[in-house]
Amino acid sequence: MAVVFGTPITAAAQEQARRTDSIEVSLLTCAPGNELYSLYGHTALRYHDLRTGEDWTFNYGVFSFKKPFFALRFVFGLTDYELGVMPFNAFREEYRREGRAVTEQVLNLSADEKRRLYDALADNYRPENRTYRYNFFYDNCTTRARDMVERCVAGTIEYAPNDSLEATTYRQMIHAMAGNHRWATFGNDLCLGAKADKHADSRQQQFLPEYLMRDFDRATIATTEGRRPLVKETRVAVDTVLPEAKSPFPLTPRQCATILLLVSLAVAAAELRQKKAYRAFDALLLTCTGVAGIIVTALLFSEHPTTSTNLQVLLLNPLPLFFMPSVMKGRTTYWRLAAALSVLFLAGAIFQDYAEGMEIVALCLLSRCMVHLALAHKQHPNRHKQG
């Protein structure tokens, strides 16, 4: 006997589901929210017995911030999600309170297919089976729901080709979903590497709820007996419009990077005029880039497959922290190395789309390199200091 949040699903109820075709199984597609974890929407499955009133939502997106080292585990791709089950009315009310619309696609499944799907979900909900290793692009709440439906149909789900679909990458898709959340997009792009810029085919695009809903709408189930549409009916379960969120910070990443560059150029002009380096400015810049570099470098070893080839590590890495004492003593070894890395970083833009404004940050760092090398040459024209 399966248990759903303390409520037993009796053997009699399961047997009744097998004997009748009074059941609807639906794909629920939830609109994006304003929280970082909800920017890309959500997917769940609904099991509704019209005769008994049994009405459950199966949700593969359950996680807890309270688990030890949640943020650290997320960075390294070690986040575990699990299948949760709750009454549909509670699920619907939660999304209504959040102002997020929910679209319901009633699936055109046979009685046997519905039974198999229900049994598979109930088995998946067992404590020993419900947890899985989450991956945003390849194994998430949306792909899990899709895969479960595909396994339980008697034939094969065939997705209609979309010739009008433009070639798109993982990065472009999440940019489109994030909308005006510029800083969330910046954070994602800072973590993602060159693999996020590869073309995603139609099936790979189904990691996003809206794309799966689109493909389900045009899909068919092919069996030995013929072909039938996958979706029987589409309804609006929650009809609401989420108010457009205002950015928590008034400036965009590009504007911040531009301000940093202008400040850097102003400092450089003053330094060249006074023939004196401003060490405090260097300390602040190196600390910021070094701390950010620890995160970017750590992600190279993450289980997230799209973070392992991040060329932004050329610009953001822990080296400034190691070279800080040498820089404070006026030595130029770090600045020579940073200049070379900055040039390589700018050249790498051919292979990877960087986070917004990062090329400007590279120019800022490059300007610091040029100033320090110029000052060193003026002070010691016949001698190059070594760090």
**Digit-coded pLDDT (tens) for 286-299:** 999 999 999 999 99
Task: Flag whether pLDDT at 387 surpasses 50.
Answer: no
* Per-residue model confidence as pLDDT tens digits over 98-135: 999 999 999 999 999 999 999 999 999 999 999 998 88
- For residue 196, tell me if it sits in a domain: no
Together in a domain, 20 and 76: yes
Claim to verify: residue 219 and residue 363 sit in the same structural domain: no
Is the same domain home to 305 and 233? Answer: no
- For residues 326 and 72, the model is more confident at 326
Q: How many domains does the chain have?
A: 2
Residue 341 is assigned to a structural domain of this protein: yes
Domain match, 49 and 136 both: yes
Confidence of residue 305 (pLDDT cuts 50, 70, 90): confident
Show the 3-state SS of the chain: CEEECCEEECHHHHHHHHHCCCEEEEEEEECCCCCHHHCCCEEEEEEEECCCCCEEEEEEEECCCCCCCHHHHHHCCCCEEEEEEEEHHHHHHHHHHHCCCEEEEEECCCHHHHHHHHHHHHHHCCCCCCEEECECCCECHHHHHHHHHHHHCCCEEECCCCCCCCCCEHHHHHHHHHCCCHHHHHHHHHHCCHHHHCECCCCHHHHCHHHHHHHHHCCEEEECCEEEECEEEEEEEECCCCCCCCCCCCCCHHHHHHHHHHHHHHHHHHHHHHCCCCHHHHHHHHHHHHHHHHHHHHHCCCCCCCCCCCHHHHCCCCHHHHHHHHHHCCCCHHHHHHHHHHHHHHHHCCCCCCCCCHHHHHHHHHHHHHHHHHHHHHHCCCCCCCC
pLDDT in tens, 156-179: 999 988 765 566 899 999 999 887
**C-alpha to C-alpha distance for 102 and 43, rounded to whole angstroms:** 9
Residue with the larger pLDDT of the pair 320 and 3: 320
Q: What percent of the chain has pLDDT over 70?
A: 88
- More reliable by pLDDT, 27 or 98: 27
Can you give the residue range of the structural domain that contains 363? 253-379
pLDDT at 71 > cutoff 70: no
